[in-house]
Chains A and B, each alone.
Chain A
Amino acid sequence: MKRSLLPIVILIIVLVFLYLPIVVLSLNSFNASRFSGTWDGFTLKWYSTLMQDRTIWQALVNSLIIATFATIGSCIIGTTAALALNRWQTRLQTLHNALIYTPLVVPEILMGMSLLLLFTALKIDCGRHTILLAHITFCVSFVAMTVLARLQDFDTSLIEAGRDLGATAFQAFIKIQLPLLMPGIIAGGLLAFTLSVDDFVITFFVSGPGSTTLPLRVYSMIKHSRQMPVINALSTLLLAVTFLAVIASRLLQIKRVSRSHPFISTTIGGTNK
């Protein structure tokens, strides 16, 4: 049966559509012209301007600090949430489930607005701590979801085997369940870290003086500054970091998996046996 080529053509057009703006933006970061429409030759001057802008680096530090703590916090809370959701099937867990899943489908602006109202009502001044609280809140759902997916594939007879062979409930959790859950927790943590570093809308609502994160800084540059090429340079750097991170994590994942968890690599690669 002959298959239509139309879907493949559309897929290619969509891929071009997805990457074109990013490519143009990166090219322009090396463009000597102020305006993206004309090419005045290759330059690195926007990058050197960027390097000298201390506010950007301060914003980056803020972002990384917040993301680190948000990742740790959401990993702990998200993992316990997943454990509870997976283990019990009571009315309490139905409520718990709703509380974990609804934030995933609520528009960001709503969450930002509601948290701002909470902090205003409690007379808490906004700053890095409020951003951290907000970030943990939206990251918990993603971590819980990722860990839960792994838990649902988890073979509970492994825990039983551990108990049967003499391990206490706590030993079985530490020595068997936690190590096997680790890839899920790490994946959830990476997701949380990325979401935290990336978030603009919620952060925008709950930020205060001195707590400018990188996206907030980028936004104000886009909104107010005329130094568009500098933003291009910054964006290109961020893109490069993201792309490298994604590629590295893909490669690393495959390697790490094949070393310490060969059972995954055999199901993926199918060549080990």
Chain B
Amino acid sequence: MSAFVSFKNVTKRFETLTAVDNVSLDIEKGEVFSLLGPSGCGKTTLLRMLAGLETPDSGRVILDGQDITNLPPNLRRVHTIFQNYALFPHMTVWDNIAFPLRVARYPKQEIARRVKGILELIRLGDHDYKYPSQISGGQKQRVAIARALVDQPQVLLLDEPLAALDLKLRQHMLLELDLIHDKVGITFLYVTHDQGEAMSLSDRIAVMNNGRIEQIDPPAKIYEAPRSSFVAAFIGDTNFLQGHVTSISHDYCNLAIVGLTSSVKSYNDKAIRAGSMVHLSVRPEKIHIAKTPPEFKDDLADKINLFSGVVEDIVYQGSHTKYWVKVGAHRIVTNMPHMRFQLDQEEITWGDSVALWWHADDAFMLEQFHATDAALIDPPAQYEEDVEIFRGTGNEP
């Protein structure tokens, strides 16, 4: 089965900057597909090329089997929700939504029927006479969605649609977008720099960096099995460990990690040979912390990596507490949720000696590693010495 939307070797340059660098990408019909990456990674340029607002320097853009690379935007059945919504300020809600139907010269009755229908879908039937300035941010957002959906496009493009909303509203609108997608069932291409949005909405995510795609996978796989250090560090928090393979047994291998005295066991699905260099990513919530470790049974003890270290920093974050622990030459970060059974343990505080452990299956081997990506992880380590005097209050996120 061929894809509904295809980018084939698409490149776009702005003067000296290569915004999109030889990107190929397939999107299935009816899917919610996200482009996720930091600002300037080329995700918006890619979206604008599908909308027809930019023309690629090379490569093709295919929609439903038709080459639309050079088709002007008004001849594509693709509509965009802009970051600032781009509602026409001189038109009422009704006129805004009717706009695409009017320029396409639909009959009057058909326009009225459709606008009415979509206003009901977004529950703004009572506000049709208002101007965009007279409605709230969330309502503007819904009008923009209605306007883009009213003539049933083949693809809906969403360019950071929630960026202008506050946190509560953003969560609400996420659910609403999900609901709307369930109802209309058309293909969504969603551009965002917010991993949380992409995770909760998408069927698949393409993580972009410097105009290239780093990884395309469903959200869980992106998070649990990042291919590159960029993906691991951009989506959530992580610990990077570098070392080489000393021995391999079945599906597991033993690694000698730079800066750690004892070896680390890891699941090996990459058919790696002894002696080769590897990079591990271990998510903080996969690492347990306690003053004294529990007893592990034999077969489990075999797959547990257990280290001891000294607590350097603690940040309370509501749902969990974050600890930075000095282990050998590393500062390992770990998240612990607050649960009843932990309260029974001794409370951990600055300077305590603690045990850290994680299961060999919970570390992930990266295919690509760039040392600069480590900077994406929020690093209070650098401030530690300088802000000593503020320690009591200065650690809030």
- CA separation between A272 and B89, bound complex, in Å? 15
Contact B131 A262 (CB under 8 A): yes
Whole-angstrom distance between the Cβ of A106 and the nearest chain B Cβ? 37
Chain B contact patch, size range? 20 to 34
Chain A binder among B73-81, B116-124, B174-182: B73-81
Contact A167 B89 (CB under 8 A): no
Contact B74 A167 (CB under 8 A): yes
Contact of B88 among A166, A176, A262, A272 (CB under 8 A): A176
Contact B52 A163 (CB under 8 A): yes
A167 with B90, Cβ < 8 A, contacts A157-B84, A262-B133, A272-B134 known: no
B100, B147, B151: which has the most chain A beta carbons within 10 Å? Answer: B100
Contact B82 A180 (CB under 8 A): no
- CA separation between A161 and B82, bound complex, in Å? 8
B103 at the interface (CB under 8 A from A): yes
Measured between beta carbons, the chain B residues less than 8 angstroms from A157 are 82-84, 86
Chain A contact patch, size range? 20 to 34
B164 at the interface (CB under 8 A from A): no
Measured between beta carbons, the chain A residues less than 8 angstroms from B72 are 163, 168-169
Contact B52 A180 (CB under 8 A): no
B48, closest chain A residue (CB): A160
- CA separation between A6 and B73, bound complex, in Å? 61
A263 at the interface (CB under 8 A from B): yes
Measured between beta carbons, the chain B residues less than 8 angstroms from A162 are 88, 99, 103
Contact B131 A164 (CB under 8 A): no
Measured between beta carbons, the chain B residues less than 8 angstroms from A179 are 90
Contact A164 B134 (CB under 8 A): no
A161, closest chain B residue (CB): B86
B131, closest chain A residue (CB): A262
B53 at the interface (CB under 8 A from A): yes
Measured between beta carbons, the chain A residues less than 8 angstroms from B131 are 261-263
A262 with B103, Cβ < 8 A, contacts A158-B88, A163-B52 known: no
Contact of B148 among A160, A165, A167, A175 (CB under 8 A): A165
Contact of B103 among A155, A167, A180, A263 (CB under 8 A): A167
A260 at the interface (CB under 8 A from B): yes
B300 at the interface (CB under 8 A from A): no
Measured between beta carbons, the chain A residues less than 8 angstroms from B88 are 158, 161-162, 176, 180
Contact B89 A160 (CB under 8 A): no
Contact B80 A164 (CB under 8 A): yes
Docked complex: A168-209 residues within 8 A CB-CB of B: 168-169, 171, 175-176, 179-180
A249 at the interface (CB under 8 A from B): no
A164 with B79, Cβ < 8 A, contacts A155-B84, A171-B103 known: yes
Contact A166 B133 (CB under 8 A): no
A266 at the interface (CB under 8 A from B): yes
Contact A180 B89 (CB under 8 A): yes
Whole-angstrom distance between the Cβ of A91 and the nearest chain B Cβ? 17
B132, closest chain A residue (CB): A263
Contact A164 B73 (CB under 8 A): yes
- CA separation between A162 and B80, bound complex, in Å? 10
Docked complex: B6-54 residues within 8 A CB-CB of A: 51-53
Contact B82 A166 (CB under 8 A): no
- CA separation between A262 and B78, bound complex, in Å? 30
A167, closest chain B residue (CB): B103
Measured between beta carbons, the chain B residues less than 8 angstroms from A262 are 131, 133-134
B104 at the interface (CB under 8 A from A): yes
Contact B86 A158 (CB under 8 A): yes
Contact of A266 among B103, B133, B151 (CB under 8 A): B133
Contact B103 A165 (CB under 8 A): yes
What residues of chain B have their CB less than 8 Å away from a CB belonging to chain A?
A: 51-53, 72-74, 78-80, 82-84, 86-90, 99-100, 103-104, 131-134, 147-148, 151
What residues of chain A have their CB less than 8 Å away from a CB belonging to chain B?
A: 155, 157-158, 160-169, 171, 175-176, 179-180, 260-263, 266, 272
Q: List 18 A-B contacts (CB under 8 A).
A: A157-B82, A158-B86, A160-B82, A161-B87, A162-B103, A163-B72, A163-B73, A164-B52, A164-B73, A164-B78, A165-B74, A165-B100, A166-B103, A167-B103, A168-B72, A168-B103, A180-B90, A261-B89
List the 9 closest pairs (A to B, CB-CB), nearest first.
A263-B133, A161-B86, A165-B100, A163-B73, A157-B86, A262-B133, A167-B103, A262-B131, A263-B89
Additional 15 contacts, C-beta under 8 A, given A155-B84, A180-B88, A262-B133: A157-B84, A158-B88, A158-B89, A162-B103, A163-B72, A163-B73, A165-B99, A165-B100, A165-B147, A166-B100, A167-B74, A167-B99, A171-B103, A175-B99, A180-B89
